[in-house]
Amino acid sequence: MSFRSARLLLLSSVAPFAAASPLAAADNAAADPERVYLPSAIVVTGERDQYGTSDGSSGTKTPTPLIRVPQTISVITDDQLQDQAITQLGEALRYIPGVSLETGEGHRDEIFIRGQETTADFYLDGLRDDAQYYRSLYNVERIEVLKGANALIFGRGGGGGVVNRVSKTARIDESMVGLRGSVDTFSAFDLAADINQPLGDGVALRLNGTYEEFDSHRDFYEGRFFGVSPTITAELGADTRLLASYTYDDDRRVTDRGLPSLAGAPLRGFDRAFLGDPAFNQALNQAHIARMRLEHSFSDTWSANASIQYANYDKIYANLVPDSTNGTTVRLSGYEDSQQRENWIAQANLVGEFETGVLAHTLLAGVEASWQDSFNGRRNVQFANGTGGFTSRVDVSLERVLTIPAFSLTAPVRGNDSSLKVLSGYVQDQIAIGDHVELIAGLRWDRFDLDTTNLAGARTARVDEKVSPRLGLVVKPTEALSLYASYATTFLPQAGDQFFLIAPGDQGFEPEKFTNYELGAKWLIKPELFFTAALFRLDRTNTKGPSPLDPTLVALVGESRTDGLELNLVGKILPGWQANIGYTYLDGKVRTTTSSAPAGRRLEQVPEHQFAAWNHVELTSQFSLGLGVIYQDEQFASLTNAVTLPDYVRVDAAAYYQLNDRIGFQVNIENLFDEGYYPSAHGDNNIQPARPFVARFGVKIDL
């Protein structure tokens, strides 16, 4: 049996959930009122005219069944996002074990994946979206978290994995108007519209838009978000398709830095208190992202695609920050930070299937080039000291509402300009050896050219050229079961993941390296139920630390390791019962002493055990219930291991009533039992208290 025939056989065996693309998946979901939590691209077809980065095969850039990708991939579908009434990316990621949230200083998405912190490993339809900001989900079809280092597909970074958002795209065969609105018991609300209209001759327009206002239990916290995203799909003949989109997001909110610690734990009794100045603590961001993708099939077995993306981010945020407390007073400092970034990314891929004797090949060859210009400026806060002078820190009485002395901003203390040019080429071959064994092997070459200038005009530059391998073996005892082993690497230059500045002292150092080893199994228990399990080891090396020969010198001697186990069950467990259930065990430790931590210390914000489950149960054709549970083990707020965030259990619930084919109502309750807990931090003294019990009331209208 050929590799291509085997895929077609797999398609027929799981037909209820087979989908060639998000368009087909969405059409199937529209025809079936039952909620779908199983990733629709467990299987994809081999038809080249439906290949795309949004087809569910983000792990290979080829039309590969998800069950055959030798890597852990967690997916949250649009149905689950709607059932949970989630509108922001961070809230959705709470339900993916192996991922823990950093507070992001109250102004950005920041996460840990398998113990590796990142502010930049975010993607939109497989293209990098790396600025520091909060991402809304109003125009998103699903979220994919691809875990483990994999530079071959995504390039630099992604040490623990990456988060990819799959966009909603225009459908050429359906007219649709969807309206959604909700309000919660803190008076936060959101309104959203999703409109799709065929324009004739194989052309369709889709428009997604939202307006959201934020509020919570935290004193003075508020904000608003506005987003609009038109997309166009055009069939330029039987073998060619063009997709174009533009997204404008405008976000303004209070910058909430949370609470300091006291005696090795979060400060108690002040969960509602805002320890800053609400008039000054503000974050504003505007993001423009425009992209175009052209797909063409040369034959049944060869295709190509090319994408270009332009992104512009303009952001400024300011905050007073709690530095410490003795229980009576709190010490404050502060600053204003501005960031501007302009990105161009161009990518092209050639995908083909062919045979050499008894071997069947799926070949990927691609190139990518990107240009990134960034600016990062900062001014510090100075407080009046009462004697005509100024100080950078001030101690004030710890109260529900702080009395803060007059303050002002200094002249700029940071002004970093950076120019980043990246050129990449990659090749990957997926080789079917008979009916039961597949080998995936590939290499990516990256040239990484970074040039930075600081406020004083000092210029530093570095060029890195790296080759990153990927190797995977998939054994298929049956068409519904895969056993795999994989090895992959990635790298991160010493400038960090935002590349605002490479310091003169770092100019001579090679990038950090991440190496992921993984053993796993993927089992399609039945067409509607998918189980995955993985054991992994993630090593991080080339971290800077004191030289063992001369402690006054710096060398690349730092190492850390995360060992782990991941289990996930998703889909229809019983008739009417959809669920997404996951568990992760993580053991992350520093292995060699650096300036950040000694050997043996546990990695920051890496809970040993995580469990998350969301369930949707249909009781009648009109009435359903939802139940969610999150457990997160205790974790350290930072590498000091001096402050512990206690473990917690959070229970969420929901109820749904479908009035008719067009109108549905739902109530979502977060933190049903009003648990007090601290889910995330940014260091030892910026700890975020969780929201107490809150109910959200929503309505959905489909016209």
Q: pLDDT band at 51, cuts 50/70/90? A: very low
Least confident of 39-53, 142-156, 672-686: 39-53
Asked if residue 17 has pLDDT above 70, the reply is: no
Q: What is the pLDDT of residue 32?
A: 40
With CA atoms as reference, report the closest residue to 104 among 605, 694, 651.
605
Asked if residue 270 has pLDDT above 60, the reply is: yes
Q: pLDDT band at 180, cuts 50/70/90? A: very high
Q: What is the pLDDT of residue 595?
A: 82
Q: pLDDT band at 530, cuts 50/70/90? A: very high
Task: Give the SS3 label for residue 577.
Answer: strand
Overall average pLDDT of the 111-121 stretch? 95
Q: What is the pLDDT of residues 74-97, one digit of tens each?
A: 999 999 999 999 999 999 999 998
Q: What is the pLDDT of residue 8?
A: 34
Task: Give the SS3 label for residue 95.
Answer: coil
- Share above pLDDT 70 across residues of the chain, in percent, rounded to a whole number: 92
Overall average pLDDT of the 329-348 stretch? 97
- Kindly list the distances between the CA atom of residue 125 and the CA atoms of 57, 91, 154, 210, in Å, as whole numbers in the listed order: 11, 20, 11, 20
Asked if residue 28 has pLDDT above 60, the reply is: no
Distance CA(320)–CA(322), nearest Å, equals 7
Distance CA(564)–CA(70), nearest Å, equals 16
Overall average pLDDT of the 286-303 stretch? 97
Least confident of 52-61, 99-108, 282-291: 52-61
Q: What is the pLDDT of residue 552?
A: 67
Asked if residue 324 has pLDDT above 70, the reply is: yes
Residue 319: which H helix or E strand, with range? strand 302-325
Distance CA(619)–CA(629), nearest Å, equals 20
* DSSP state letter for 690: P
> For the chain, what are the domain ranges?
3-153+170-500+513-702
Q: Does domain 3-153+170-500+513-702 have CATH number 2.30.42.10?
A: no
Q: What is the pLDDT of residue 60?
A: 93
Q: What is the pLDDT of residue 56?
A: 47
Angle in degrees, CA 347, 247, 39, rounded to 5: 70
* Between 600 and 17, residue with greater pLDDT: 600
Mean pLDDT of the chain: 91
Amino acid at position 355, single letter: E
Overall average pLDDT of the 675-679 stretch? 96
Q: What is the pLDDT of residues 384-415, one digit of tens each?
A: 988 888 999 999 999 999 999 999 999 999 99
Residue with tokens 């079809």: 141
Q: What is the pLDDT of residue 217?
A: 95
Asked if residue 5 has pLDDT above 90, the reply is: no
DSSP codes, 405-427: --EEEEEEEEEEEEEEEEEEEEE
Q: What is the pLDDT of residue 34?
A: 66
Asked if residue 266 has pLDDT above 50, the reply is: yes
Alpha helices in 376-482 (DSSP H): none
Q: What is the pLDDT of residue 25?
A: 35
Q: pLDDT band at 48, cuts 50/70/90? A: very low
Asked if residue 11 has pLDDT above 70, the reply is: no
